Structure 1
Amino acid sequence: MQKLIVVTGGTKGIGRAVVERFLQAGMRVVTCARSATDLLALSSELGQRYPETPVYTLAADLSQADDARRFVEFVRELEGEVEVLVNNTGGFEPGRLQDEPADGSQLRRMIDVNLYSAYDVTQGLLPEMIARRHGHIFMLCSTASITAYTNGGSYCVAKFALYGMTKVLRAELQEHNIRVTAILPGATLTASWEGADLPAERFMRPQDVAESIFAAYSLSPQAVVEELLMRPQLGDI
């Protein structure tokens, strides 16, 4: 049966680079994003560049549990087995915890988009991986998962939690022969940095992260990259 590569948030930045890297390897990709327009543009462009390899898309906001379940069902209905799951969906809001709304709304938004999106999709697709005793799960964490930034606020809290969940999954899934990898990239030239008064050379490229994910996936089944910490050559920004 053909393999499926599932990449959440695949229309921009690191997610898009990951989608393209697996398409280059001739593997079918399933992705989602909130914008149906962006997904249509992605499908059109990649369909021309990789006409022999299909890309399946669904408009969904994975910070919403109902949309996450709908995306999982969409994947399940496709022909093929999920070989790789890349949980890339995320969002960033700067600020200090002490300055955030007292109602906790900012923390809840950051948890929903950065943690629950990955939790819900993973939980939905995991039973079949366990039954097959095969698969590789990547979690797009961040250097903010291990370093507290004073302007990171609830984003840091959510990314720390995602890193913790990744460690738990790694421990639980060893006996099921499923690999789990935490990816912790520093400053990468994506939409999150639009407007920054810094040269492009100061950032990593999304393709750098995608190539590292593909390399970790390509190892023999006897090896796993448990976590991969990446920073710009000149250090954090």
Structure 2
Amino acid sequence: MSFESSAVVITGASRGIGRRIAVQFASKTRHPLVLIARSEEGLEKTKQLCEEAGAERVTVIPCDLTNESNISEISMPADFPKPGIIINNAGSYLYKDLNDTETSEFIEQIETNLLSAVYVTNRFLGDLKNRERGIIINICSVGSIEGLKESGAYASSKHALLGYTRSLRKELMQSNIAVTALNLGQTKSTSWESSDVNPLLLIDPDDVGKLLVSISQLSTRTVAEEIILKPQRGRVPPM
């Protein structure tokens, strides 16, 4: 089966940025979609939006992405195409001083922001290797490349995700699989709903989806290794 007809796996697809990424793939490509997140209700809503946007085939998989055994046991519908694109978008933001951050909160940030991507990649990597083209896109952060005041545990986990992504890129460089890190700045999502940040100054999540669609359409000769995406006016206060 060709890359063009392969499925796109999107984690954290039940809301926010992941939902908008899914809708952009639904409206601009013919790839079948595999939506993964904890919330089955949220996934079903995203599925509905994707179908309204033009997607012909969408399957949802409710799953705890921090549970390695749950992910390793994921089974695709028998008649569903194997994936050719993995978008590791699932993540969690912790706004808290380092001195006040509990060890359990550090662990949770690592599990959600790093290990979920590792587990999902390991689950589907074999499928990508069997295609003429495969793409892995990890949604990292500006917190992957700089320290962040009042969200140090988050930045630490995202540093780790970028290190993993860079290493995976090196390991797969001679294969048919492209690996991309998107270092994403403040983007309109559910993470900001309880804050005083002006949402109109944040990155439009549809722009993230459009960018990822474009990355997926590059030739096999080209890879976008790392991209930084930021709000036009820079960091949005009061964060």
Output the TM-score relative to the length of structure 2: 0.91
Aligned to 1:167: 166
**What aligned pairs does 1:45-124 form with structure 2 within 5 A after superposition?**
45-50=49-54, 53-70=56-73, 73-75=74-76, 77=78, 79-101=80-102, 104-124=103-123
Aligned to 2:139: 140
Aligned to 1:28: 32
Instruction: Provide the C-alpha distance between the structure 2 equivalents of 1:47 and 1:209, rounded to a whole number of angstroms.
Output: 20
Return closer, same or farther for 1:75/1:138 CA change in 2, 3 Å cut-off: farther
For 2:34, the aligned partner's letter is V
Aligned to 2:179: 180
What CA deviation, in whole Å up to 9, does each residue of 1:6-45 have, x standing for no partner? 1011121221111111111121100111111112222234
User: Structure 1 residue 92: deviation in Å?
Assistant: 1.1
User: Does the 8 Å CA contact 1:87/1:139 hold for their aligned counterparts?
Assistant: yes
Moved over 6 A (4+): none
Aligned to 1:155: 154
User: Does the 8 Å CA contact 2:137/2:181 hold for their aligned counterparts?
Assistant: yes
Give the CA RMSD over aligned residues: 1.6
**Residue 46 of structure 2: which of 15, 38, 42 is its match?**
42
User: Structure 1 residue 89: deviation in Å?
Assistant: 0.6
For 1:14, the aligned partner's letter is I
Instruction: Provide the C-alpha distance between the structure 2 equivalents of 1:81 and 1:58, rounded to a whole number of angstroms.
Output: 14
For 1:68, the aligned partner's letter is I
User: Does the 8 Å CA contact 1:89/1:114 hold for their aligned counterparts?
Assistant: yes
What CA deviation, in whole Å up to 9, does each residue of 1:26-79 have, x standing for no partner? 2110011111111222223433443x6111001111012222223xx3238553
Return closer, same or farther for 1:157/1:75 CA change in 2, 3 Å cut-off: farther
Instruction: Give unpaired runs (5+ residues) of structure 1.
Output: none
Instruction: Provide the C-alpha distance between the structure 2 equivalents of 1:196 and 1:145, rounded to a whole number of angstroms.
Output: 22
User: Structure 1 residue 84: deviation in Å?
Assistant: 0.6
Instruction: Give unpaired runs (5+ residues) of structure 2.
Output: none
For 1:43, the aligned partner's letter is K
**DSSP 3-state at the match of 2:228:** strand
Matched, 1:18 2:18: no
Output the TM-score relative to the length of structure 1: 0.92
User: Structure 1 residue 133: deviation in Å?
Assistant: 4.9
Identity of counterpart residues, as a percentage? 31
User: Structure 1 residue 169: deviation in Å?
Assistant: 0.7
**DSSP 3-state at the match of 1:74:** coil
Instruction: Provide the C-alpha distance between the structure 2 equivalents of 1:235 and 1:56, rounded to a whole number of angstroms.
Output: 37
Aligned length: 232
**DSSP 3-state at the match of 2:76:** helix
Return closer, same or farther for 1:164/1:179 CA change in 2, 3 Å cut-off: same
Return closer, same or farther for 1:67/1:54 CA change in 2, 3 Å cut-off: same
User: Structure 1 residue 223: deviation in Å?
Assistant: 0.8
For 1:30, the aligned partner's letter is V
User: Does the 8 Å CA contact 2:144/2:158 hold for their aligned counterparts?
Assistant: yes
Return closer, same or farther for 1:45/1:216 CA change in 2, 3 Å cut-off: closer
